Amino acid sequence: MKLNTLLTVIKPLAVGRPGDPDIKGLAYDSRKIKSGFMFFALHGQNQDGNQFVQDAVTRGAVAVVSDQAAPVSHGPAIIIRVSDPRQAMAELAAAFYYNPSASLQVVGITGTNGKTTTAFMLRDIFTGAGRRTGLIGTVAYEIGDRTIPASRTTPESVDLQDMLAQMVHVGCQSAVIEVSSHALIQKRVGGIDFDVAVFTNLTHDHLDYHVTKENYFQAKALLFRSLSRCRKKPVAVVNLDDPYGRELVRDVPLEADLITYATGQEAAVRAINLQITSAGSVFDVRSPWGEARVKLKLLGHYNVSNALSALAAAGGVGVPLAHAAQVVSQMIAVPGRLEEISIEGGFQVFVDYAHTEDALHNVLSTLRAITPGKLIVVFGCGGNRDRKKRPLMGAMATRLADYVLLTSDNPRKENPIEIIAQIRAGCKHSDNVEVVEDRHEAIVCALSLAETGDVVLIAGKGHENYQEFANTVIPFDDRQVVRECLGISHA
């Protein structure tokens, strides 16, 4: 695509010199630049992309998008100065890939918890309705028959638009995207036309980045504010059981058709006659499209809410309620989301991604209801992330579990023992808390403590198959560690 054609979608402050080279690709990492590429000089948390302009030009960049007039000696490259390189990158990426979201039915899901489960439900609902569906989220990126392990919940806009274009190329009709608050602040989903935006909930998390919970909420609200710029007629799906969902409906102008859902509030889509058991939940869904019975195999009240969000989103784009209800009733598990590791008799073991106070509360409360014996939990907190939630999670664990093993999560550049000490500061009763820094040893210890009737929860990492330290990433999968410890083969 010619440079001048691309530039019609933005309003640059200045273009360094005349020229109309053919743009053959886009990159924000100078190491990925090839001849004829456009380079985006982004301001990162630790580095400034303007420091790598010379490297990008040396590697063949013919155009550079920056908020600086001339970041360095740029040789033959044309410098395009903009006020916001990230916004420009999102809009240019959409144009470069011929606006793939216009050819897809796109659902964006945001919220602290529940994004992944809702996304998997919607993927299965759409697929079962005959719509080939792509998925972009925390666990994986699914494009046609290809599954790519996810490096982050929501990719950068260049990568995201590329994936959407690939989905169009392989015949996808729908795309389900988990949209993180970081992605919204960093404008990674700019240039995407959403058919549906879903808000699941908002609880304490990511305050290392957003500082306050109100800032965190306003970041989530950006997805819904963006609907006013969509060329489609979008739908907003909002959880009224969550106070921030009610605030979203009350205070944020929604230029979209609103579909609310709830279990404890009056809402457009509502669960009635709800019965929660040790085998799941049974309830009737009352909606604008009629009623249906759901027999949910996924445990916990919070999964009822996840199911309602998926049913509301599906109904909003015309999927029959009876079909959607049947699909969610058939779901057995979502990777790393209260995933049970099958063992012979004795005790039960679950692995879950819970890494916030609210998520830990939901999972432990759910397991407490089905545990005749002791409830044992193994967890830690990620390094270089929200520190304020650490003692809160410690308090929640000691309140709901009989025995707590504090261990490492992904310590990154922090000292694991210091992270654990911050978690333990919230543990009011130390007689049921043990510190085992090595995560493998902590899991072994938990399994050795378990007896018939007990339940072991290994929380925090869920589907992840790695552990991240300061300068290294090692293979590590909680599920595989359990299987190896118990001598279980994984079919």
Whether residue 344 sits in one domain with residue 319? no
Q: pLDDT (tens digit, 9 = 90+) per residue, 112-156?
A: 999 999 999 999 999 999 999 999 999 999 999 999 999 999 999
- The backbone torsions φ and ψ at residue 94, rounded to the nearest 5 degrees and listed phi first, read -60, -45
With respect to residue 480, please indicate whether it lies within any of the assigned structural domains.
Answer: yes
Whether residue 293 sits in one domain with residue 392? no
With respect to residue 49, please indicate whether it lies within any of the assigned structural domains.
Answer: yes
Give the count of beta carbons closer than 10 Å to the beta carbon of residue 100. 25
Whether residue 289 sits in one domain with residue 419? no
Residues 464 and 355 sit within 8 Å (Cβ to Cβ): no
Query: Which residues make beta-bridge pairs with 262?
Result: 270
With respect to residue 37, please indicate whether it lies within any of the assigned structural domains.
Answer: yes
Q: What are the strands of the beta sheet with 269-277, ordered from one edge?
A: 146-149, 140-143, 133-136, 174-178, 105-110, 196-199, 235-239, 257-262, 269-277, 280-287, 290-296
pLDDT of residue 207: 59
With respect to residue 236, please indicate whether it lies within any of the assigned structural domains.
Answer: yes
Which has the closest alpha carbon to 446: 396, 403, 489?
Answer: 403
Q: What is the CATH number of the domain that holds 365?
A: 3.90.190.20
> Which tokens in the block code for residue 111?
């919220």
With respect to residue 326, please indicate whether it lies within any of the assigned structural domains.
Answer: yes
Query: Distance from CA of residue 266 to its chain's centroid?
Result: 28
With respect to residue 491, please indicate whether it lies within any of the assigned structural domains.
Answer: no
CA gap 258, 256 in Å, rounded? 6
Q: pLDDT (tens digit, 9 = 90+) per residue, 312-324?
A: 999 999 999 999 9
Whether residue 281 sits in one domain with residue 375? no
Model pTM score: 0.93
pLDDT of residue 143: 98
Whether residue 247 sits in one domain with residue 116? yes
Residues 300 and 366 sit within 8 Å (Cβ to Cβ): yes
> Which tokens in the block code for residue 316?
């909003």
pLDDT of residue 190: 95
Last residue of a domain, one of 69, 96, 123: 96
With respect to residue 454, please indicate whether it lies within any of the assigned structural domains.
Answer: yes
Return the DSSP state at 404.
E
Whether residue 165 sits in one domain with residue 50? no
Residue type, 321: L
Tell me the residue range of the domain where 369 lies.
339-486
- The backbone torsions φ and ψ at residue 256, rounded to the nearest 5 degrees and listed phi first, read -165, 165
- The backbone torsions φ and ψ at residue 8, rounded to the nearest 5 degrees and listed phi first, read -70, -15
Q: pLDDT (tens digit, 9 = 90+) per residue, 233-247?
A: 899 999 999 999 999
Q: How far is CA 288 from CA 100, 109, 184, 240, in A?
A: 31, 21, 30, 16
Q: How far is CA 33 from CA 21, 77, 151, 158, 485, in A?
A: 15, 13, 20, 13, 45
Segments in the chain below pLDDT 50:
491
Task: Burial-class residue 34 by CB neighbours within 10 Å (0-12, 13-18, 19+).
Answer: exposed
Whether residue 220 sits in one domain with residue 146? yes
With respect to residue 72, please indicate whether it lies within any of the assigned structural domains.
Answer: yes
Q: How far is CA 237 from CA 142, 175, 335, 468, in A?
A: 23, 16, 24, 35
In the block, tokens 């998008």 appear at 65
Q: What is the CATH number of the domain that holds 65?
A: 3.40.1390.10
Helix axis angle for 357-368 and 389-400, nearest 10°, is: 10
CA gap 279, 322 in Å, rounded? 22
Last residue of a domain, one of 78, 96, 114: 96
pLDDT of residue 209: 62
CA dihedral 353, 357, 361, 367 (to 10 degrees): 30
Last residue of a domain, one of 330, 353, 388: 330
CA gap 373, 381 in Å, rounded? 26
Whether residue 218 sits in one domain with residue 108? yes
- The backbone torsions φ and ψ at residue 381, rounded to the nearest 5 degrees and listed phi first, read -130, 145
CA gap 191, 273 in Å, rounded? 42
Identify the helix (H) or strand (E) that includes residue 379. Answer: strand 375-379
Residues 436 and 445 sit within 8 Å (Cβ to Cβ): yes
pLDDT of residue 44: 86
In the block, tokens 């907003």 appear at 236
> Which tokens in the block code for residue 480?
């595989």
Q: What is the CATH number of the domain that holds 324?
A: 3.40.1190.10
Whether residue 51 sits in one domain with residue 111? no
CA angle 68, 74, 80 (to 5 degrees): 45
Which has the closest alpha carbon to 123: 106, 148, 110?
Answer: 106
Q: pLDDT (tens digit, 9 = 90+) per residue, 419-456?
A: 999 999 999 777 899 999 999 999 999 999 999 999 99
Whether residue 317 sits in one domain with residue 233? yes
Whether residue 361 sits in one domain with residue 425? yes
Q: pLDDT (tens digit, 9 = 90+) per residue, 257-278?
A: 999 999 989 999 999 999 999 8
CA gap 268, 277 in Å, rounded? 25
CA gap 280, 267 in Å, rounded? 23
Count structural domains, the chain.
3
CA gap 84, 156 in Å, rounded? 15
Whether residue 282 sits in one domain with residue 156? yes
